[in-house]
Amino acid sequence: MPLNDDYLQYTERAHRMDHDRYDWSDMFQRAPITWPNQARVALWVMPILQWFPLDMTGKPFRAPGGLTMPFPDFRHYTNRDYGNRVGIFRILKVLAERNVPASVAVNAVIADRYPALMRELLAHDVEIVAHGQDAAQVLHSGMSEADEQALISGALDTLRRASGQAVTGWLSPGRAQSSRTPELLAANGVAYACDWANDDLPYAMRTANGPIFAMPHAQETDDRTVMLDFHHTEDDWLRQITDRFDVLYRESAEFGGRVMSLPLHAWVAGVPYRIGAVREALDHILGHDGVWAATGADILAAFQASEGAARG
C-alpha cells in the first residue's frame, strides 16, 4: 500500500529545536552559578515512593517498573510495595545518619493508603514532590485536557493537604508528559518539574501560564534504570554514581556550580543487598569539600538568586 503524500510532512520540522519551550544553550558558556557558602556541587537526593495497582491496563503504555503478569500479579505488586513497607525506612535512616535532606517523590494515592508512612516522611522533615496519582496513570497527549488537569490537580491537592507543604515540585509517572503538561503544571502552582533530562543545571521553560523550571533529575544513572533495565550490578551503579559526581566536581572548579541528583526508588535501592551501595555513594560524595546537600526547592531558590545576581 503506497504512503500518503503527507506522511513525511512534520509541522515542527525546521532549523531549530522541535518546540519553543526554551532556547538552546551551551552550559559551559553560561555565567557561573554560585551555591550557598561557595559550595561547588549541590547534592539532591530523591527517594521515590510508588504504588502500582493490581489492575494496571498498560495504556497507552506501561510505566517503567509496571506489573507484567496476568491479574492479580501479586509477585510484582508485593515486590514494588516492599519499598513502602521496608525500603524507604532504610533509605531515610542512611540519610539521617549523614544529615542529608531529601525531596521524596510520592504517588498521591500513597497519602491515602499509607497515612502512617506520610507521617514518617514528615517527621524526617523531607520536601514532598508530587509524583502523579499512581504509577499506572501516565500523562500523554491522547488524553483530554480536562482529564490531565484532573490528574495533576488531584495529585497536588491530595499531597498538599496530607503534608501541609506547598508541594512545588513534580515528577511525572514514567517521566511522561503531554504537549500541554508544562502549562497545566505552571497553572497549578508547580515551580519545577523533573521529567526533562538534558542538563546538569536548572533552566526556565516557557509556558502560556508563566515559566516553570526543568530540574536536572538524572535518568541514565537512575537506580531502577541501571540495575533493572540495563541489568548492571550494584557495584556498576555505584561506579557510575561516583564517576558522575567526580566529573561534575571537576567541572565546577572552572565553570561554576553543578547539581548532582540521586534518584532512589525505595523498592530498588532500599533492599538489603543494595543499601550498602547507597551508603558508599553518599560517603564518596560527602567526602569532598564544597558539597551542599539540599532539597529541590532549596536548589531552585539558590539557582534563581545566583542567576539574578549575575544579571546584576
Q: What share of the chain is helix, strand, coil (3-state, %, to 5)?
A: 45, 10, 45
Q: How confident is the model at residue 67 (pLDDT cuts 50, 70, 90)?
A: confident
> Residue 169's closest CA among 192, 150, 197?
192
Q: How confident is the model at residue 169 (pLDDT cuts 50, 70, 90)?
A: very high
pLDDT of residue 82: 97
For residues 62 and 277, the answer to whether their CB atoms sit within 8 Å is no
Q: How confident is the model at residue 2 (pLDDT cuts 50, 70, 90)?
A: low
User: Would residue 172 be called left, alpha or beta, if left means φ above 0 and alpha means ψ between -120 and 50 degrees?
Assistant: beta
All 3 cell numbers of residue 15? 532549523
- What is the 8-class DSSP label of residue 136? T
Q: How confident is the model at residue 18 (pLDDT cuts 50, 70, 90)?
A: confident
Domains of the chain, each with CATH number or no CATH: 35-311 (3.20.20.370)
